[in-house]
Amino acid sequence: MSGDNIIDGKAFAAEVRARVKAQVDRLVAEHGLKPGLAVVLVGEDPASQVYVRNKAKQTVECGMRSDEIRLEATATQEEVLAVVDRLNADPGIHGILVQLPLPDQIDESAVLDRIDPDKDVDGFHVVNTGRLQIGLPALTPCTPRGCMMLLHDRLGDLSGKHAVVVGRSNIVGKPMAMLLLHANCTVTIAHSRTKDLPGLCRQADIVIAAVGRPKFVQGDWIKEGAAVIDVGINRIPKEDGKTRLVGDVDFEAAVGHAGLITPVPGGVGPMTIACLLANTVTAACMAAGIPEPQVTA
Ligand SMILES: Nc1nc2c(c(=O)[nH]1)N[C@@H](CN(C=O)c1ccc(C(=O)N[C@@H](CCC(=O)O)C(=O)O)cc1)CN2
Ligand SMILES: [Mg+2]
């Protein structure tokens, strides 16, 4: 993959992490403030274990404190809430993330809403959701924030562009639509009941695929020159019995139509963790009542 229209999310995420590290270095040097991120993992989901390990590694590489809290898959709601309460009260922890999905016995929204909104670096708490909705400063969900960074980097001003968001989840589709709206896009949210989805996508200057179905968005749904951001991470079986990762877009078919497109892997995924680190710096600065250090390059 080497076309000019293919966005290298891995390289861009490395740049974001370098900026975060420079910010952290200044916070430590000028304010004695070392941001801390705690990640809570309940159970042994293999993909979640990899993501949590990568988060901890990248947090430390950026010079921040990293706490990893692991609970058995059989943990009770009370046990998970007790961990969140303890982290809420820890002044050295500025960001808390509970890795999703949670086991079935746990009420996900009750856990997410127990996190102190000022430490909610996932931006999933109802307070941050509401703040985003009405345009107040908010901790913003990491994946949509990463998508916006990629779009602004390659397209600059997004005003007046028609964006179609395929998917209406609370963690990607809805906040994504809100961020695009705040960037003055005309936004359509499409979902399983949308009529003529191919025709709708063909009108879009920007297509965000966040539906959770492998290769769902077809190549001929993409208008010539449109930007295609693929949020999907689907593992599909290969003939040799192993699995491979594909997005929600049929990449091979879409790449010939798109003006810009993110691959899977190596597109949006790496931006999610980079934005989590950036949100942790934001949360630490908010807690200390100091402005975020501005770093160049
Ligand atoms: N509390 C949260 N849970 C989950 C989130 C989240 O933002 N907050 N998002 C996903 C998982 N996720 C981070 O937690 C995540 C997913 C994918 C990647 C990534 O870098 N993907 C790579 C491929 C990695 C692979 O081979 O599996 C890529 O796309 O290039 C990072 C983070 C659900 N849970
Ligand atoms: Mg549940």
As a whole number of angstroms, the distance between CA 5 and CA 1 comes to 10
Where are the chain's structural domains?
Answer: 32-134, 142-270
Specify the ligand 1 atom closest to the Cα of 266.
30
Interatomic CA distance for residues 185 and 165, integer angstroms: 11
Q: Among 213, 123, 200, 212, which residue's Cα sits nearest to residue 164?
A: 200
Cβ atoms within 10 Å of 69's Cβ, excluding its own = 17
Question: Which of 233, 249, 280 to mutate for ligand 1's pocket (most ligand atoms within 8 Å of CB)?
Answer: 233
Q: How far is CA 60 from CA 65, 125, 163, 223, in A?
A: 6, 25, 36, 42
**Which residues, at least 6 apart from 76, have a Cβ–Cβ distance to it below 8 Å?**
105
Binding residues, as ranges, are 167-169, 233
> What pLDDT digit, counting tens, does each position of 178-229 carry?
999 999 999 999 998 999 999 999 999 999 999 999 999 999 999 999 999 9
State the pLDDT at residue 3.
82
* 289 alpha carbon – ligand 1 mean position (Å): 30
List residues near ligand 1 (CB under 6 A): 47, 50-51, 97-100, 122, 142-143, 233, 245, 264-266, 269-270, 272-273
**CA–CA gap between residue 207 and residue 218 (Å, rounded):** 11
CA distance 187 to 182: 10
Residue with tokens 């779009």: 151
Q: Which residue, judged by its Cα, is nearest atom 14 of ligand 1?
A: 51
Protein fold of 32-134? Rossmann fold (3.40.50)
Q: What pLDDT is stored for residue 47 in this prediction?
A: 95
Q: Which residue has the tokens 């297509």?
A: 207
Same fold, 32-134 and 142-270: yes
User: Which atom of ligand 1 is the closest one to the Cα of 142?
Assistant: 7
Pocket test residue of 272, 276, 277, 280 for ligand 1, highest count of atoms within 8 A of CB: 272
Strands 260-261 and 227-230: parallel
**Residues of the chain below pLDDT 50:** none
The ipTM estimated for the assembled molecules is 0.96
Position 2 scores a pLDDT of 56
Closest ligand, as measured to the CA of 98: 1
Ligand 1 center–CA 206 separation, angstroms = 22
Which residue's CA is the nearest one to ligand 1's atom 33? 100
Are 209 and 166 in contact, with CB atoms under 8 Å apart?
yes
Of residues 290, 288, 228, 215, the one with CA closest to residue 258: 228
Q: What is the pLDDT of residue 297?
A: 64
Q: Find out whether 242 and 210 touch, Cβ atoms under 8 Å.
A: no
User: Hey, which residues are catalytic here?
Assistant: 55, 99, 122
Which of 41, 99, 120 most suits a substitution to test ligand 1, by most atoms within 8 Å of the C-beta? 99
How far is residue 86's CA from residue 235's CA, in Å, rounded to a whole number? 35
Can you tell me the distance from the alpha carbon of 239 to that of 226, in angstroms, rounded to the nearest whole number? 33
Domain 142-270 has CATH 3.40.50.720: yes
- Give the type of residue at 44: E
Which ligand approaches the C-alpha of residue 271 most closely? Answer: 1
Cα angle value 152/221/163 (rounded, 5°): 30
Cβ-Cβ contacts under 8 Å for 181 (sequence gap 6 or more): 187
Cα of 197 vs centre of ligand 1, distance in Å, is 26
Instruction: Report CA Rg, the chain.
Output: 19
